[in-house]
A and B are shown apart, each in its own frame.
Chain A
Amino acid sequence: MNKDVILQVKGVSKSFGGVKAINHVSFDLLKGQILGIIGPNGSGKTTLVNLITGFVKADSGLIFSEGKKLIGLPPYKIAGLGIVRTFQIPRPYHSLSAMKNLVVPLYSSRIVRTIGGKLGDRDTVALDILEEVGFERDAHIPYKHASAFPEGFLKRLELARCLALRPHVIIMDELFSGLSVSEITAMIPIIEKLQMNGMTLIMVEHRVRELFQIAHRVMVMNFGEKIAEDVPDEIIKSEIVKQAYMGVT
Chain B
Amino acid sequence: MSLPTVAFVLGLLIIPLAVTSMAWQKIIIIACIFAFLALSFDFLAHFVGIVCLGGAFFTGVGGYISGLLNSAFGLPLVITIPIATIGGGVICTLFLLPCLPMRGIYFAIVSLMYPLLFARVIQALNIFGGTDGLPGLATFPNIWVELYLILPLILILTFGLRRLVNEDFGMVLRAIKDNDQAVKASNINITWFKMKAVFLAAAIGCFSGAYLTHLYGWVGISLFALDFSIFPIAATVVGGVGTLVGPVIGALILTLFSEMLREFGPLRVVFYSLILAGLVILNTGGLVPYLQRKYHQFERWIEI
Q: Which A residues contact B (CB, under 8 angstroms)?
A: 53, 55, 74-77, 79-80, 84-85, 87, 91-96, 100-101, 103-105, 107-111, 161, 164-165
Bound complex: CA of A105 vs CA of B188, how far in Å? 8
Partner of A161, one of B169, B172, B182: B182
What number of A-B contacts does a CB cutoff of 8 Å give?
A: 83
Interface residues of B in 162-192 (CB under 8 A from A): 168-169, 171-172, 174-175, 177-179, 181-190
A87 touching B187 by the CB < 8 A rule? no
Tell me whether A103 and B171 are in contact in the complex, defined as CB-CB below 8 angstroms, given that A87-B181, A93-B179, A93-B182 are known contacts. Answer: yes
Residues of A within 8 A of B187 (CB): 76-77, 79-80, 84, 105, 108-111, 165
Cα distance, A110 to B189, chains bound together (Å)? 11
Task: Give the interface SS of chain B, mostly helix, strand, loop or mixed.
Answer: helix
Chain B residues with Cβ below 8 Å from A96 are: 171, 174-175, 178
Given contacts A76-B187, A165-B187, contact A107 B172 (CB under 8 A): yes
**Sample of 20 further A-B pairs with CB below 8 A, known A84-B187, A107-B169:** A55-B185, A74-B184, A76-B185, A79-B184, A84-B185, A91-B182, A91-B185, A93-B182, A103-B175, A104-B171, A105-B186, A105-B187, A105-B188, A107-B188, A108-B186, A108-B188, A109-B189, A110-B187, A165-B186, A165-B187
The interface residues of chain A lying within 8 Å CB-to-CB of B184 are: 55, 74-76, 79
Q: B residues within 8 Å of A by Cβ? A: 168-169, 171-172, 174-175, 177-179, 181-190
Cross-chain contact B171 with A107 (CB below 8 angstroms) = yes
Tell me the bound Cα distance from A100 to B186 in angstroms: 13
Given contacts A96-B174, A104-B171, contact A79 B186 (CB under 8 A): yes
CB pairs A–B below 8 angstroms (13 shown): A79-B184, A85-B185, A92-B179, A92-B182, A96-B174, A96-B178, A103-B168, A104-B175, A104-B186, A107-B172, A108-B188, A164-B186, A165-B187
In whole Å, how far is B251's beta carbon from the nearest beta carbon of chain A? Answer: 25
Instruction: Evaluate contact between A93 and B188: CB separation under 8 angstroms.
Output: no
Question: Nearest B residue to A85 by beta-carbon distance?
Answer: B185
Min Cβ gap B133→A in Å is: 44
Nearest CB to that of A162 among chain B residues? B185
Contact of B189 among A76, A94, A104, A111 (CB under 8 A): A76
CB atoms of A104 and B190 under 8 A apart = no
CB of A53 within 8 A of CB of B178, answer no
Residue of B177, B181, B182 most packed against chain A (CB within 10 A): B182
User: What 7 A-B pairs are tightest by C-beta distance, nearest first?
Assistant: A108-B187, A91-B182, A79-B187, A93-B178, A105-B186, A80-B187, A75-B184
A91 engages B181 (CB within 8 Å):
yes
* Identity of the chain B residue whose Cβ is nearest the Cβ of A82 in the assembled complex: B187
A57 to chain B, nearest CB (A): 14
CB–CB A103/B172 < 8 A: yes
Please give, as numbers and ranges, the residues of chain B lying within 8 Å of A108 by CB-CB distance: 186-188
Q: Shortest distance in angstroms between B199's beta carbon and chain A's nearest beta carbon? A: 19
Nearest CB in chain A to that of B192: its residue: A76
